[in-house]
Structure formats: C-alpha cells, structure tokens
Amino acid sequence: MRVLAAMSGGVDSAVAAARAVDAGHDVVGVHLALSRMPGTLRTGSRGCCTVEDSNDAWRACDKLGIPYYVWDFSERFKEDVVQDFIDEYAAGRTPNPCMRCNERIKFAALLEKAIALGFDAVCTGHYAKVITDADGNPELHRAADWAKDQSYVLGVLTHEQLKHSMFPLADTPSKAEVRAEAEARGLSVAKKPDSHDICFIPDGDTAGWLAEKIEMSDGEILDETGTKVGGHTGSNQFTVGQRRGLKLGTPAADGKPRFVLEIRPKENKVIVGPHALLAIDEIKGIKVSWAGLPITEVATGAEFDCYAQVRAHGDPVPARAFVTGVTADGVTRENLTVTLGEPLRGVAPGQTVVLYQGSRVLGQATIDAARSLARPELP
C-alpha cells in the first residue's frame, strides 16, 4: 500500500514508520507544521513541532530511506483545534484538543490530502490497533500494552477514517521495547523524551495562556451550600475536579481539601466542595460517533453493557449505556446516556467519554452533563 507516515519527530512515530517500511509498504514521511512560528529547539518535553522536531523526523526518514516532506496545516489547526480549545473554555467546558486534532487534522485534513495525492493510509505511532472483520469492516481496539494504550484519543475516529488508518505499534508489549527497537535501527530519537501536555502551550501554563485569549473577570467561589469561600480572576481557568490553584481564603469545616464541582460561566461562579461530591454516576453525551460499524443496540435504542473511560489514561469503569435520537432544527442526532457501575470523579463537561466492550472501542461522545443519580443538584 502507499502509506503516509505522520512523523512528529518522536520515537513512536519513527518506529511506526520503520515497521511500515519493513512490512513492504511504499512509505513517505510527513511532518505536520501546526504552528506558523515554530520554535527552533525543543525545550524540555513540553511543546512539539519545533524546527528541531522537524529535523529529527527528517533524520529518521533519511535512515529509513524514505522521502520526507513538511506540510503546513497551521491554519486548519488554529481553527479546528486551538480556537475550539478557547471556545470550550470560554463556555465553561473542558476541551480535549488531542481528540480534536486526531478527529479534524491527522485523520481528516491530512488524510484527505493523502488520499488525493494517491496514498491508501495514514500511519501514526499511536498505541492502538485496527482489526478488520470478515466483511472488511474496521474495528478499533486497545493496544497490547494497556498502560500505553492510546485508543481513547482515537475513539473519535469514524468507520471511514479507520479504514485508512494504520497503527504499527499495536502489539508492542511496552514503550521500552519501542525505544530499544529505535536504538537497534540506529534512529537518533531512541532516547528523546516523550512530549506531553498541550502541544501549543509549550510552557504548560494553560491558565496564563487562556488569560490572554479570553476576557476574564473577577468572580466568586462558592461552596456546596452556596456560601462564598473565595474569589477568582476568571471562571474559565478552572476545570471540574481541580484541586490546585483555588487559593481559598476560608478553609473547609472538616479541614479537608476542596475540589471544583461545577463551573457556571454565565454567572462567572465556581462551585467547590469535598471530594465525595465529585462522584457522579450518570453521563449524558452529545456529538456521538462510532468507531467502525455501530453495534445493533445503537439503532434499537436498547441498553447495552460496556466500559466507560473519561480520561486518556484513566481506568475504565463498568457501565450500561443507551442511545436516543434527539431532533433539533429538523435534524435528528444521537444522544448517549451512560449509567456507571462505579462512580467517577472529576468528570468535566466538554471532555470525552469513550465506550469499550472488551478491548474494542465502540465509540465516543462529548460529555454534556454529569450527575449523581442519588444527589440533588447544587444550589
């Protein structure tokens, strides 16, 4: 197959490209330029797509004997990922830029360009697996190493996108093996640190970055009884489940830490409370998609057993879910209701809930609301 290997300059995508070459595919490496003004050198493990990263990807392609190009998706990235990030925070929700990037850039904009230019698939260094069933339909599964598994961030991919995706690292037992393989292949990135956090906020100061982009104003922090316990400089900086950075003047009656329970952007209020009140057991999801063909219960609306995961590396919990159709403006869209078998804490609207059956990703939804069935709403 003609395969376009997306290469970040990191070790995972370099080894993935190498394996695609070994498998006999006709591979071309591409680095996505997502910033109009990339930094020159990688400083630490935050941030990505500096000139140094591009050069690292280039060297890897030299070693593999494959062509290397850099394609500019900075405009699309700014609109679909960065602006979405800002808009979600402004609305009091917690965005998931990595999912948006996979959904709209890596496996949409890049994939479309690749197909137009004659490629059959886009290959990345994600730890995930695509299995094709007997009828040629793709299924998305967890990688062999559940600790490194990244199927969560790929949960938003559709049937069409999965048909053209390739994840050569699927069956690798561990990250250490990938690094060892990179070393054995003579790839200079074998010891390069992984990047984490948000690639377009290199110094990790999300609150500071947001303060420059969203108009924030001072507001109140209230506890679960409605009593004022502190002030903030902008409700949009907070996320549900957050404990740090609250700077509360008044300690809790029990002396225990308080956590963000709710953000109310319209009133510019942040509600905090004890850990116990973070627990929720029902999630309502919108903007639903299925990773491959939907299971039969999607069409029938019947409830089905599954596991729900709300964080990239969080533990899945047993759950029961069902789909309903909601019509608005003449369009019927799927909504998801997930009832958890065990409570989850720190579930923020805007985040993604991914549903699994065994190792298979069924699909995902954006969390619209999360509540505890037993508890009343907060004042």
Partner 1 sequence: MYLDHAATTPISAPALAALTSVISRSGNPSSLHGAGRRARATVEASRETIAAAAGAHSTEVIFTSGGTEADNLAVKGLFWSRRDAEPQRTRILVSSVEHAAVQDTVEWLQKHEGAHAVWLPVDANGTVNLAALEAELADGGADSVALISCMWANNEVGTIEPIAEIVALAAAHGIPVHSDAVQAFGSVPVNFKDSGLAAMSISAHKIGGPVGVGALLLGRAVRLTPVQHGGGQERTVRSGTLDTAGIAAFAAAAQDVTGNLAAESQRIAGLRDAIIAAVRAAVPDAVLRGTDPALDPDGRLPGNAHFTFPGCEGDSLLFLLDMAGVESSTGSACTAGVPRPSHVLLAMGLDEDTARGAQRFSLGHTSTPADVDAFVAALPQAHARAKTAGMAAHVSSIQTASTR
The bridge status of strand 68-72 relative to strand 121-123 is unpaired
Q: Which is nearer to partner 1, 72 or 267 (CB)?
A: 72
Residue 306 known to be catalytic: no
List the structure tokens of 245.
Answer: 């950075």
Three-class SS of residue 186?
coil
User: With respect to partner 1, which residue has the nearer C-beta, 111 or 344?
Assistant: 111
Compare residues 117 and 180 and give the one whose CB is closer to partner 1.
117
Tell me the residue type at 167. F
CB of 120 to partner 1, least distance (A): 14
User: Computed from CA positions of residues 179, 180, 184, 188, in that sequence, does the dihedral angle turn out positive or negative?
Assistant: positive
The residue from 61, 123, 199, 306 that is catalytic is 199
Q: Which is nearer to partner 1, 156 or 340 (CB)?
A: 156
130: tokens are 């695509």
Amino acid in the structure at residue 130: V
- The single residue listed with the structure tokens 């990135």 is 189
**CB neighbours of 163 closer than 8 A, spacing ≥ 6?**
138
CB closer to partner 1, 1 vs 33: 33
Q: How far is the CB of 335 from partner 1 (least distance, A)?
A: 12
Minimum separation from the CB atom of position 156 to partner 1 (A) = 6
| Pick 18 or 111: Cβ nearer partner 1 | 111
Ranges assigned E (strand) in the chain: 2-6, 26-33, 68-72, 121-123, 128-132, 138-142, 165-166, 219-222, 228-232, 259-264, 269-273, 280-290, 304-309, 317-328, 331-344, 352-357, 360-371
Q: What is the smallest separation between the CB atom of 153 and partner 1, expressed in angstroms?
A: 13
Binding site for partner 1 (CB under 8 A): 31, 33, 38, 51, 54-55, 58, 67-73, 75-76, 84, 100, 103-104, 107-109, 111-113, 116-118, 156-158, 160-161, 287-289, 333, 364-366
Supply the minimum distance, in Å, between the C-beta of residue 234 and partner 1: 25
Residue of 48, 61, 98, 101 marked active site = 101
Closest approach of Cβ 285 to partner 1, in Å?
10
Nearer to partner 1, 157 or 182 (CB): 157
d(CA 330, CA 179) in angstroms, rounded, equals 52
**Which among 313, 379, 304 is positioned nearest to 338, based on CA atoms?**
304
Q: Is 199 a catalytic residue?
A: yes
Nearest distance in Å: CB 118, partner 1: 6
Q: What are phi and psi of 55, to 5 degrees?
A: -65, -35
CA 56 to centroid of chain Cα atoms: 24
Per DSSP, the residues of 318-334 read EEEEEEEEEEETTEEEE
What is the C-alpha end-to-end distance of the chain, expressed in Å?
Answer: 59
* Contact assessment for residue 56 and residue 13, using Cβ atoms and an 8 Å cutoff: no
Active site residues: 101, 199
